[in-house]
Copies of this chain bind each other. A is one copy, B any other.
């Protein structure tokens, strides 16, 4: 997708380095981060230089490919021990995103054979991700009528994948076709991926939009200002229960109350057949500082971190929630729309 009219993907591998858009600096600064080994790539996932289900998956795959390169001079036995350790380290970076485990395991299996196959497999995962998202856009677009006002939560745009995005891919397709759509962008506290990343993406792609506080969505629904909601997913259980960014559940409940279609857009790689229901999905708890502090541009155009809550009070910060399948109108995948 476009950044200042130039095309980019979110993550890519070249020789033994993994390159990625530094998403912690967005939307204020556009910078490419180069990770030269797999542990650095793990750290990049952990510190959210790269984030979003698909992008995390592809990056984890690349990290496993990096590990196989790093270990390639070792004896067969030590090579496997190194890979096992790497598998554990990569899987420990973020606990919720299904794509991470899928990608790491696929590349690990190839790495057991050779590093060349590992690199090819990692690239294949990234390519599949971009292709799946493109198709999600084509299928999802069919649900969007002209002049629709669409709400989305968090960032399931191209920055969360390799390209196109999941929830935003239908939006981009509809916009390309001149459907005169409008997007309500949930701020998505505490990390504000909506206000920072989704708004930035939509601006770059010339999609009409406005940012709202997360608290405003139900109000807009009550005023007839939202025609449909599309969000992404971090993991979809076998029964359809969907883990996604904290707050998704609240939007889904409100959408049900007002009879507004609520769609989850995700590649089939996000579906986890080994997890029976939402109750079995582990919810990541992140640092309370994400709630208590905010980072942004000060008046001198420098990034500054400020305390935005009462000093000496603590916060609780679950990163995801689980939306029960009964609240979901349908899933938009690269294979079509399922209800």
How many copies the complex holds: the figure is 2
Verify B250–A211 contact, CB threshold 8 A.
no
- A308 on the B face (CB < 8 A): yes
- Tell whether A200 is near chain B: CB-to-CB under 8 Å: yes
A180-221 interface bits toward B, Cβ cutoff 8 Å, 1 = contact, 0 = none: 000011011110100111011011000001111111111100
A219-B246, A222-B249, A250-B250 known; A211-B311 Cβ under 8 A: no
Q: Find the B residue at minimum CB distance from A302.
A: B306
Tell me the residues in window 278-309 of chain A with beta carbons closer than 8 Å to chain B beta carbons. Answer: 283, 291-299, 304-309
Question: Of B192, B218, B291, B299, which is within 8 A of A249 by CB?
Answer: B218
A296 contact from B189, B222, B294, Cβ within 8 A? B294
A8-16, A138-146, A317-325 - interface stretch: A317-325
Contact A310 B213 (CB under 8 A): no
Q: Are A306 and B294 in contact (CB under 8 A)?
A: yes
Residues on B with C-beta less than 8 A from A187 are: 189-190, 291, 309
Establish whether residues B249 and A311, one from each chain, have CB atoms under 8 Å apart when the complex forms: no
Q: Which residues of B contact A291 (CB under 8 A)?
A: 187, 195, 211-213
A27 interfacial contact with B, CB 8 Å: yes
Q: A210-B314, A257-B253 are in contact. Are A216 and B309 (CB under 8 A)?
A: no
Given A189-B187, A315-B211: A297 in contact with B307 (beta carbons within 8 A): yes
Query: Main SS of chain A's interface residues?
Result: mixed
A207 to chain B, nearest CB (A): 11
Whether A254 contacts B246 by the Cβ 8 Å rule is no
The contact of A310 among B195, B307, B321, by CB within 8 Å, is B195
Q: Is the CB of A211 within 8 A of B292?
A: yes
Residues of B with C-beta under 8 A to A185: 313
**Cβ–Cβ < 8 Å partners of A209 in chain B:** 313
Could you write out 13 A-B pairs with CB less than 8 Å apart? A27-B310, A187-B189, A188-B215, A195-B292, A196-B308, A212-B316, A212-B317, A214-B215, A215-B245, A218-B247, A218-B249, A219-B283, A219-B318
